[in-house]
Structure 1
Amino acid sequence: MTIAIGSDHAGFRYKEAIKNLLTDLGHTPIDKGTFSEEPVDYPRFIRPVAEAVASGEVDRGIVLGGSGNGEAMMANRIKGVRCALCWNEESARLGRQHNNANVISLGQRMMSEETALQIVRVWLDTPFEGGRHQARIDQLDA
């Protein structure tokens, strides 16, 4: 799977760890920045991830920041993106099963690095259930 990834300065360290995980798992990460812990405005790096997902350039996206809130808000402004703010494995699992989340947002200040990596693993491995949930996705996209 090809996965776009982007963060602001507050998510940079976990972004780098997640890129390594994605590569180790056989995925292709596409880094949309930022490229250091120098303070930046998150929309500059989150919008390109969301646009890459919406256009089909990549299969999925991961965005990161301090809390993940602003990043999720930015990503969800792009039509066709369903970004789930995840804080534990269950939120990632349900984001995929029920909402077919094609992007996840993580907050580096909200969890350990190991938790963030496990969230990514669960999100990658969990299929969308479809069925009754598809009608809700259709309403989101209408």
Structure 2
Amino acid sequence: MDGGYMLPEFGVAYIKRVRFFRHGQEECVTDLIAAACYDVSGVGEGLYEPPSKTDEYQMRTRTLQKFRAIIASAVANTEGSGKNTYLLLGPIGTGAFGNSEKMIAQLFNEVLNGSLMGSIEAIRYAFEQIWFVSTDNLDIFRQILQ
């Protein structure tokens, strides 16, 4: 690790009311969640010591904890009923950090379709819409998250 911001291993930075401007004066306000996946690329640029690449159980378990923190922070900071809440997720950690796209998609699927924070239904119902966005191919996410 060579600098940057520091987050607890299973924590997030939640930034409220970030203002974006488009086409001059048109603006959009959104909240942002920053989190970090493990760097399993071998380069060693990540914030945390990753589990061994051969210990799939630890990799999945610890990454799942991170994703639960991301979704829990989104739910906890939703204003009102969540009717106008859109959750935008991406293939976190699958680029330079070398995490498996399939594993990341499976773990997001597990979190979104499970109970969280005492919910009776799947936590995905806390959001009006959930979008996966990326400049890369999202086919594996489409297949797993149907």
For this structure pair, what is the TM-score category when the shorter chain's length is used for normalisation? 0.3 to 0.5
Whose radius of gyration is greater, 1 or 2? 2
Q: Normalising to structure 1: TM-score of the pair? A: 0.33
**TM, length-normalised to structure 2:** 0.33
